[in-house]
Amino acid sequence: MPSISTKARRARRLAAAAVIPALFLSACGSPAAEGGGGAVDGSGGTLSIATGGTGGVYYPLGGGFATVIRENVDGYDATVQETNASVDNMLLIKSGAAQLAFSVGDVAADAVEGVGDFEGDPLDVCSLGNVYHNFLQPVTVKDTGIKSVEDMKGKVVSVGAPGSATEVAAVRTLEAAGLDPKKDIDRRQLGVAETVAALRDGTIDAGFWSGGLPTGALIDLAADGDMVLIPIGEYAAPLAEKYGTYYVEDDIPAGTYEGQDTAVPVVASPNVLVASKQMDEQLQQDITAAVFDKKEQLVKVHPAAAELDPATAGELQFIETCPGSKKYFDGAGS
């Protein structure tokens, strides 16, 4: 699995927030792409990119992807869909309502294998490359006194929005810590922006969020001065053993968020850009080239794009790399 580079970490530390220039805002269009359904055959049209909530990384970075596709793939435009993230995104690819989608590795693996939320119904999808790593970020505020997952027992906890990778990873982490997500917590299902609002007004005690660093909504919460990140790195190994090697232990570097003076060990997973295997091979290659060749442009949208690396982006064991993307990666590495 590709490691997170020192350069990427440095970019994150220096980033005070996700910057979205006006150039990229035009990429965030209507929820559904006009004419996108037939666009995968290489004949041109509009590609719809399934992302996530506006408080996370998928949505702004997806806007950047839409722009580089529009500017560099002949005959194509692109728009962004706001969604509940990974599980929903994979289903949107299946239905044809989206042509490209972000997904965390665990959800993509489940979709390919036809397990979990995709039980008995595997999806015929492939990866256009590993984009960046998600960090499962359990958060609380100082007044709750919560310092570990075990401390969440009997508390009001958000496990993430329904149909999100956050929910999948949060439930698995709670179980790894010996808690029953149905009985041992008062369970809520909120997106990251709603989780921050609920922590501020005291209607929840803790919440999980799986996303890149830094996450805009958590930047806002940290600015209040009492955000606490809960360490969960110890659960990476048992999760990897039970579910797959897409779970690894990694640190949220010190200084990622205001007031965070030390590194916090958590569980990380790769994020992939996914498409149907029915997408035209040349189109796969052109989209991959647009994204990876315009890395510096995308870093201006969100520092998570600093992890884009064509030398390792196709090295995924849990999902097939699209043949057009593989051609690009093979050429980039030669």
Cα dihedral sign for 307, 312, 313, 319? negative
Would you state the pLDDT for residue 54?
87
**Domains in the chain: boundaries:** 6-133+272-332, 134-269
Instruction: Classify 6-133+272-332 by CATH class.
Output: alpha beta
Q: Which two tokens stand for residue 79?
A: 């728009």
Instruction: Walk along the chain (334 residues) and give the pLDDT tens digit of each residue.
Output: 444 433 343 343 333 333 333 333 334 444 333 444 458 999 999 999 999 988 888 999 999 999 999 999 999 999 999 998 899 999 999 999 999 999 999 899 999 999 999 999 999 999 999 999 999 999 999 999 999 999 999 999 999 999 788 999 999 999 999 999 999 999 999 999 999 999 999 999 999 999 888 898 999 999 999 999 999 999 999 999 999 888 999 999 999 999 999 999 999 999 999 999 999 999 999 999 999 999 999 999 999 999 999 999 999 989 999 999 999 999 985 5
CATH number attached to the domain at 134-269? 3.40.190.10
Cβ-contact 62, 235 below 8 angstroms:
no
Quote the Cα angle for 119-81-220, to 5°: 100
Q: List 213's β-bridge partners, or say none.
A: none
Report the run of H or E that residue 188 belongs to, with start and end: strand 186-188
Q: What is the pTM of this model?
A: 0.77
Would you state the pLDDT for residue 56?
84
6-133+272-332 matches 134-269 in fold: yes
**Residue 145: which region, alpha, beta or left (left: phi > 0; alpha: psi -120 to 50)?**
left
**What proportions of the chain, in percent to the nearest 5, are helix, strand and coil?**
40, 20, 40
Residues 6+ apart with CB under 8 A from 33: 39, 45, 46, 47, 48, 78, 79, 81, 98, 99
Would you state the pLDDT for residue 333?
54
Cα dihedral sign for 87, 118, 234, 4? negative
Residues 6+ apart with CB under 8 A from 218: 137, 139, 192, 196, 209, 227, 257
